[in-house]
Amino acid sequence: MHIVKTVESLCRSVKKIKSQNKTIGFVPTMGALHDGHCSLIRKSRRENDIVVISIFVNPSQFGPKEDFKAYPRPEKKDILLAKKEKVDIIFYPSEKVMYPTGFLTNVHVDEITDRLCGATRPGHFRGVTTVVGKLLNIVTPDALYLGQKDAQQVVVLKRMIADLNFPVAVKVCPIIREPDGLAMSSRNKYLTPRQREGATVLFKSLKDARKRALAGEYNAANILRRMRTAIRKHTPGKIDYIVCVDAHSLIPLKQLKGRVMVVLAVKFGQTRLIDNIIFYI
Amino acid sequence: MHIVKTVESLCRSVKKIKSQNKTIGFVPTMGALHDGHCSLIRKSRRENDIVVISIFVNPSQFGPKEDFKAYPRPEKKDILLAKKEKVDIIFYPSEKVMYPTGFLTNVHVDEITDRLCGATRPGHFRGVTTVVGKLLNIVTPDALYLGQKDAQQVVVLKRMIADLNFPVAVKVCPIIREPDGLAMSSRNKYLTPRQREGATVLFKSLKDARKRALAGEYNAANILRRMRTAIRKHTPGKIDYIVCVDAHSLIPLKQLKGRVMVVLAVKFGQTRLIDNIIFYI
């Protein structure tokens, strides 16, 4: 496994790989790797000759009051895990490599970045699309592996990739959960024991919403009211949003129809957790 | 020569070319090809195995009151000329191919797009960077050929390509001029005989500025005053801007130093002409 820290060095490796007609699968991460990331790496491993992951805690996708500094950076553990998962190359750039002096460009997706997480995290998705645009140009992968946990990120990046004609296939992998159902996240380790226990209500309420919807409750307001009540009853968490949306467009639905996503963000102290569930009506 | 109208079809051609390890030189144009474009095509022809040009009058880089509808589209003449210049592929997409329903993404370069042409053409460079970003992802060229006539466009696109790590070399080709010195432009044909005659003062005044600067006049205000006087005296043209700037950063200079660009935009009726000259102090 190679750990590559500069763009030039990675481009040389990629050129060699391409000259051998090998395919590249790419998993962009912010490190603090967990089983969610591993599921992406494994799928990429199965489907490609070469697996590249990036580890970069991207400052431009954090708001000024968010957890950029506190975000976990367990470098050695991440490298060991990547090795175990048979990653070929870790692209591990510094901030200066990604945003050198004089950097002025950004990639922005309109409309679908304003709602849900975008409403409380202005600039977040601009940071994500810009850094992923850069990474796609550096790694030039055949396939990009994304986790469904970051549901809005998936929709936004798919839109960017289609709109800007990036020549890459997008593979979305299912949410990986802890035994008690909590969606895996590098931020779960911020939770106190009480918050951690309460956080299990998120997935329970999503499953309950799906069950009710599939049983014929198509009124979004009724579904959401029940979810809010359960979350408030069982946790000290503060609801940022819970919405039923069209899973393609992220447009809120009053009546559930088609490919529905119920998606939520709840804050436990300073820790903001997200989760979602998709089903068909 | 192939004329390709869809992204899918072009991607198939590009894949085949890449599998043969051939290099691609790319010249993006809005058609109405003249000797300026031909000089780019010829350089690309000399330096690459395959030459791709695009012809697309990009609506998103025109302002609402600009000449998008009137912009010349001599399709047959362009195709003949491209054939004569031994172009391998013309990518000739429709608006719907480039901006299908649901398109939401743009690429934006900050700061250096606000001044000069950006000041009077808000959104223009966003349109340029977005469409060129798309074209680079579609054509995946080894080298991109740009004309120095669009000086700010060159600086902005170089910035975008560096910032987003597009794996392409940028080759900037000198301005091609009519026998009387007027920089070639698809918009020159809009000029009335009187405007056309007056327009020759633009390059004359740029040459005069260079001559004075190289003779020791480093005060930008003095140089610009003389240029304005000459342009007002000899033409009915309305000056949009004349500035001495640092050729790399486009920052205005009071004292000429380093790689200096004198750059101007002058309107003759509805026709806006641009020109520039670069020299070292």
ipTM for the whole complex: 0.96
Give the Cα separation of A82 and A79 in Å (integer).
Answer: 5
Q: What are the φ/ψ torsions at residue A127 (nearest 5 degrees)?
A: -65, -40
Give the Cα separation of A196 and B181 in Å (integer).
Answer: 74
Single-letter amino acid code for the residue at B3 = I
Which tens digit of pLDDT belongs to each residue from B159-172? 999 999 999 999 99
Chain B positions in Cβ-Cβ contact with residue A130 (cut-off 8 Å)? 164
- Alpha carbon A242 to chain centroid, angstroms: 18
For A114, which DSSP code? T
Q: Grade residue B146 by pLDDT with cuts at 50, 70 and 90.
A: very high
Q: Which residue has the tokens 């330096």?
A: B47
Burial B227-236 (b: 16+ CB within 10 A, else e): beebbeebbe
Chain B positions in Cβ-Cβ contact with residue A129 (cut-off 8 Å)? 105
pTM value is: 0.97
CB contact under 8 A, A108 and B108: yes
Nearest to B107 among A19, A105, A167 (CB): A105
Q: How many CB atoms lie within 10 A of CB A31?
A: 23
CB contact under 8 A, A108 and B106: yes
Q: What are the φ/ψ torsions at residue A189 (nearest 5 degrees)?
A: -70, -10
Q: Is A97 on the interface with B (CB under 8 A)?
A: no
Contact present, A106 and A123 (Cβ < 8 Å): no
Contact present, A75 and A5 (Cβ < 8 Å): no
Chain A positions in Cβ-Cβ contact with residue B139 (cut-off 8 Å)? none
Q: How many CB atoms lie within 10 A of CB A198?
A: 18
CB contact under 8 A, A108 and B109: no
Q: B2-173: what fold?
A: Rossmann fold (3.40.50)
Residue to substitute from A17, A18, A104, interface B, most B β-carbons within 10 A: A104
Q: Which residue has the tokens 């003389």?
A: B226
Per residue of chain A (281 residues), give pLDDT as tens: 999 999 999 999 999 999 999 999 999 999 999 999 999 999 999 999 999 999 999 999 999 999 999 999 999 999 999 999 999 999 999 999 999 999 999 999 999 999 999 999 999 999 999 999 999 999 999 999 999 999 999 999 999 999 999 999 999 999 999 999 999 999 999 999 999 999 999 999 999 999 999 999 999 999 999 999 999 999 989 999 999 999 999 999 999 999 999 999 999 999 999 999 999 99
- Alpha helices (runs of H) in chain B, residue ranges in sequence order: 7-19, 35-47, 75-84, 95-98, 117-120, 124-139, 151-163, 193-198, 200-214, 220-234
Q: Catalytic residue numbers of B?
A: 37
CB proximity list for B261: less than 8 A, separation 6 or greater: B151, B244, B245, B246, B247, B250, B276, B277, B278
CB proximity list for B44: less than 8 A, separation 6 or greater: B25, B26, B27, B51, B143, B145, B171
Residue in chain B lying closest to A157 (CA): B105
Give the HSE-up count for residue A31: Cα atoms under 13 Å, Cβ half-sphere: 21
Q: Is B95 on the interface with A (CB under 8 A)?
A: no
Chain B positions in Cβ-Cβ contact with residue A107 (cut-off 8 Å)? 105-108, 133, 164
Task: Tell me if residue A37 is catalytic.
Answer: yes
Q: How many CB atoms lie within 10 A of CB A70?
A: 11
Closest CA to A228 of A219, A239, A217: A239
Chain B positions in Cβ-Cβ contact with residue A167 (cut-off 8 Å)? 11, 137-138, 140
Which residues make beta-bridge pairs with B136? none
User: Domain spans of chain B?
Assistant: 2-173, 188-274
Residue in chain A lying closest to B12 (CA): A167
Among residues A2, A37, A108, A248, the one annotated as catalytic is A37
Chain B positions in Cβ-Cβ contact with residue A165 (cut-off 8 Å)? 7, 134, 137-138
pLDDT at A164: 98
Which tens digit of pLDDT belongs to each residue from B185-224? 999 999 999 999 999 999 999 999 999 999 999 999 999 9
CA angle B171, B66, B37 (to 5 degrees): 25
Same fold, B2-173 and B188-274: no
DSSP annotation string for A239-254: EEEEEEEETTT--B-S
* Burial class of residue A55 (count of CB atoms within 10 Å of its CB; 0-12, 13-18, 19+): buried
CB contact under 8 A, A130 and B11: no
Single-letter amino acid code for the residue at B103 = F
Find out if CATH 3.30.1300.10 is the number for domain A188-274.
yes
Residue A16: helix, strand or coil by DSSP? helix
Residue in chain B lying closest to A161 (CA): B105
Q: Is A55 on the interface with B (CB under 8 A)?
A: no
Give the Cα separation of B51 and B1 in Å (integer).
Answer: 10
Residue to substitute from B165, B246, B248, interface A, most A β-carbons within 10 A: B165
Q: Which contiguous run of DSSP H or E holds residue A198? A: helix A193-198
CB contact under 8 A, B137 and A109: no
Contact present, A264 and A202 (Cβ < 8 Å): yes
Which tens digit of pLDDT belongs to each residue from A181-199? 999 999 999 999 999 999 9
